[in-house]
Amino acid sequence: MAEPTAPPAAPSLQELQHWTGVLGRAQQMMMEAGIDMMAQLPAAKAAPAFPAMFDPAQAMRAGAAFWTDTLQLWQRFLDPAHAVPAAESPEHAKDRRFRAPQWREDPVFDFLRQSYFLIADHMVKGVDSLEGVEPRQKEQIRFATQGFIDAMSPTNFPATNPEVIEKIVETRGENLLKGLQNMLADIAKGQMTQSDTSAFELGRNLAMTPGKVVRRTPLYELIQYAPATKQVFETPLVIFPPWINRFYILDLTAEKSFIRWAVEQGLSVFVVSWRSADASMKDVVWDDYVERGQIDAIDTVRDLLGVESVHAIGYCVAGTTLAATLALLTARGEADKVKTATFFTTQVDFAEAGELSLFVGDEQLKMIDSLSSDGYLDGRYMATTFNLLRGRDLIWNYVTNNYLLGADYAPFDLLHWNADVTNLPAKWHQSYLTDLYRDNKLVVPGAMQIAGTPIDLSTVKTPSYIQAGREDHIAPAHSVWKITDHFAGPLRFVLAGSGHIAGVVNPPSANKYQYWTNEAKVSSLADFVAGATETKGSWWPDWMQWIEAADATRVAARGARIPGKGKLEALADAPGEYVKTR
């Protein structure tokens, strides 16, 4: 007969005092922060009833399948010796949230993990089986369901995460106090922290490429970079980054900087640094970003260097705007001002614009309007929206690491830039979401006007280089491809490995990812991929060869080619003042 198990020893007075102190300090932190979440919540609105979308027979079949899978899971848990092992999907097997060995080695946590996956899979199947629902509404339900699934992961709760439990024991609860401190700090600033905010400084270890601000307007600063070669290409390069983010995504650390690399290839590089919106920009609209932004910068560079044309790059929304700029210049008979155009992850046809289009319904637009009463939209709203698109990686990962485990923030230049938000002019933002994302007017000839001139993308004959990211969740590759359906000039399409940022910021020295090209004339992305040639590494050299083929003429890097030595005096050192304005 087995000896009876001795009852656990009662905690000592010292232990009780310690844990009482931990709880007391936590309560004090909460009180000092003045948190009263319920008082801040608006009155809940009754959720609209779903339309009749359930087939009873199908619902019964789904329920039976769920309970069958659940019983099998219980059998494996209660009688592992005789149960049929579960066949784990590749997606579940590589889920990084459950990489800790305890999730498979400990039967209880393994059961939690498998239960979570089982419920998640059946919830998604339930959405897929809905009938009588419009495709857009089904996608919205799927997105909301996936967000709920990610939020309810057992990794997000202290009592069901073995790593958190071990950390609580190891630190005697100090990790929870540190995590609470991190959470309260984020609540106070209204934004989740993802990287060590003290690790980077503009001009010190970010945005370090030497240059000068040579023009400043109420909308942008124009930065001219110092040449790194004795001779430079005669045709300069003007880069238009998106004003939704800071320009230095293209000038991160020296090793990752596209701007530095382009300068080293012999290009005279200019970059537009957009001003973060404030109340003074309440009347700024898309026309302003075309006329007072892109065309003004193009004309400034042409006049400064005495050249007929420029190479232009547009990234994301600035690429969409560049397409409109080219159409407007064409309508005015001035298309020759831009010798070539390059589009980084750019959409002009928003018929299949991806998950961001789920945020442009009438209710969402009304909410955005209510958040923009001062004439601009706080950049933290857009940051949250983009984070929601990858909530598992950009939200819940940090809830676990920084709030539950109390881990120190790691220095990461890309995440530092991601959190460096900019405000958006309200009128521009509303019209952009309405006219482009919702109504898709840009691809309808004459449906949109810039400064009173109707524009038509089908008239654009400017040679164009179009780069898309294979895993881009913001501008899906199949959506970027649609540019080829609307432009009339010679096009080169390149599909890069990775996504919206890493697919662009991929220097040759890193030797990461790959890209695909296809010299044949094809009519769809699927046909492009089917006949594409894969090349390891960065697509940047391919782009540079394309630029040189367009115009290989070089001139001496002197006079106006040196920032501040031409007719425009240097106003400030790069990266300028606007990029630092919060």
Q: Looking at the annotation, which residues are catalytic?
A: 316
Q: What is the DSSP letter of 282?
A: T
- Which residue type, as a one-letter code, is found at position 8? P
Question: Is 106 buried (19+), middle (13-18) or exposed (0-12) by CB count in 10 A?
Answer: middle
CB atoms within 10 A of CB 411: 14
State the alpha helices, DSSP H only, in 411-553.
413-418, 426-431, 477-480, 525-530, 540-550
Return d(Cα 213, Cα 575) in angstroms, integer. 8
Question: What pairing do the DSSP bridges indicate for beta strands 491-496 and 514-517?
Answer: antiparallel
Question: What pairing do the DSSP bridges indicate for beta strands 572-573 and 211-216?
Answer: antiparallel
Closest C-alpha among 229, 271, 121, 283 to residue 576: 271
Token pair, residue 222, equals 């124009």
Residues contacting 194, CB < 8 A, separation 6+ = 394, 398, 409, 412, 415, 418, 419
Residues contacting 275, CB < 8 A, separation 6+ = 218, 219, 220, 221, 281, 578, 581
Return d(Cα 134, Cα 482) in angstroms, integer. 24
Q: What is the DSSP letter of 306?
A: T
Return d(Cα 420, Cα 434) in angstroms, integer. 26
Answer yes or no: are the C-beta atoms of 177 and 406 closer than 8 Å: yes
State the sign of the Cα–Cα–Cα–Cα dihedral 512, 517, 522, 528. negative
CB atoms within 10 A of CB 99: 11
Q: Measure CA of the first residue to CA of the last residue in the chain; give whole Å.
A: 73
Return d(Cα 346, Cα 317) in angstroms, integer. 7
Token pair, residue 299, equals 């004309």
Closest C-alpha among 354, 143, 275 to residue 582: 275
- Which residue type, as a one-letter code, is found at position 336? D
Q: How far is CA 246 from the centre of its chain?
A: 12
